Structure 1
Amino acid sequence: MRTIKTHADLRCLRQAQVFSEPFTSYLEEEFLQLKEAFDFDGADEQFTLDMYGYMVVLEKGDNLRDLSVVGLRREEGGLLGSLPEFVEKIERDGERWYKVVVIYTNEYGMAFFVPAEAIADDEQVASWLEEQADNQA
């Protein structure tokens, strides 16, 4: 699991080449859209998602049924037990991932990004994400 709260977090992910170029670029676009949505007109380096809810990239091996560390408890089913505000399926350059937005309070929500390869061996999670995304269409 990778968390993104600042532009520096994104820069580190890019430099370490943790994710593919298309996915990293997408995450940067999302971050900049959030910065704009929160009407922050300072330097990119000063903006943080700490008080709004941050971006979480889930990776192969992460237990999507227990994301207690980011507020989705095992007892409640983790991501699968959440009631997402929306789920979007994104496809770029032959890659696919899901964006799942979960609202915690009126002022705080998290955006979870789930690359398809991270859930390739979990049919239940893949079906849940597809079903949620289809319900949004």
Structure 2
Amino acid sequence: MKTIKAIADLEALVGSGAISEASLTYVGRLFQQMYEALGQEKNIGEFSLEEYGYIVILEQDDDIRNLKGIGLTPEEGDLLGEWLEYVELERLSNGQEIWKIGLLYDNAYFQTFISEVGKLEPEVEAWLSEQHLETELFTSQSWRKLATTKDDQTDNINQH
């Protein structure tokens, strides 16, 4: 497991072989977006995600049921037992796919997990796939409901 809290953490991954270059580029863009949203006039070298929720890169040997280093344990609730905000499947420029997982701890702390598809246990990969499908289903139903509601409201306005 690698944690990305600051730009120095990203720089340490360059050339390490911990993740692919395409994944590293994706994580770098994600960090940049978080910096732009939360940086509050700090330069990027001083900025840290420590207080907001940082990026966690899950690796092949990680026990996803016991991520003690970041406070997710079987006793306190592991990643598989948490109510995830989303599980997205992202296709990178080189065709590789990664999981992007969002977990909201409270109103001010949001953890983002990244894992290259196929790096975790088959059971965990299957679970992530199920969670992704549920996220997609919920999102598509929510947008359809929202669109239908807006169309109904527009019709009501146009009738008066």
Q: TM-score, length-normalised on structure 1?
A: 0.91
Q: Distance in 1 between matches of 2:125 and 2:104?
A: 21
Q: Which residue of 2 aligns with 1:136?
A: 135
Query: 1:43-82, CA deviations, whole angstroms, 9 ceiling, x for partnerless residues?
Result: 1101100110111101011000111221212135511111
- Root-mean-square deviation (CA, aligned residues, Å) is 1.5
- Which residue identity does 2:86 align to in structure 1? F
Q: Which residue of 1 aligns with 2:141?
A: none
Q: Distance in 2 between matches of 1:48 and 1:57?
A: 16
122-131 vs 68-77, greater mean Cα deviation: 68-77
Q: Which residue of 1 aligns with 2:36?
A: 36
Structure 1: 5+ residue runs without aligned partners? none
If each structure's strand is expressed as a fraction of its own residues, which one has the higher value?
1
* Superposition pairs of residues 15-34 of structure 1, within 5 angstroms: 15-34=15-34
Q: Distance in 2 between matches of 1:117 and 1:128?
A: 12
- Which residue identity does 1:13 align to in structure 2? L
Q: Which residue of 2 aligns with 1:66?
A: 66
Q: Distance in 2 between matches of 1:132 and 1:63?
A: 18
Q: Which residue of 2 aligns with 1:13?
A: 13
- Which residue identity does 2:103 align to in structure 1? V
Q: How many residues align?
A: 135
- Which residue identity does 2:108 align to in structure 1? E
Query: 1:16-59, CA deviations, whole angstroms, 9 ceiling, x for partnerless residues?
Result: 34321110000000001111121533211011001101111010
- Which residue identity does 1:88 align to in structure 2? E
Q: Distance in 1 between matches of 2:68 and 2:20?
A: 27
Structure 2: 5+ residue runs without aligned partners? 137-160
Q: Distance in 1 between matches of 2:9 and 2:99?
A: 20
Matched, 1:117 2:123: no
Of the two, which has the highest radius of gyration?
Answer: 2
Matched, 1:94 2:86: no
4+ residue runs of structure 1 moved beyond 2 angstroms? 15-18, 39-42
Q: Which residue of 1 aligns with 2:125?
A: 126
Q: Distance in 2 between matches of 1:74 and 1:118?
A: 21
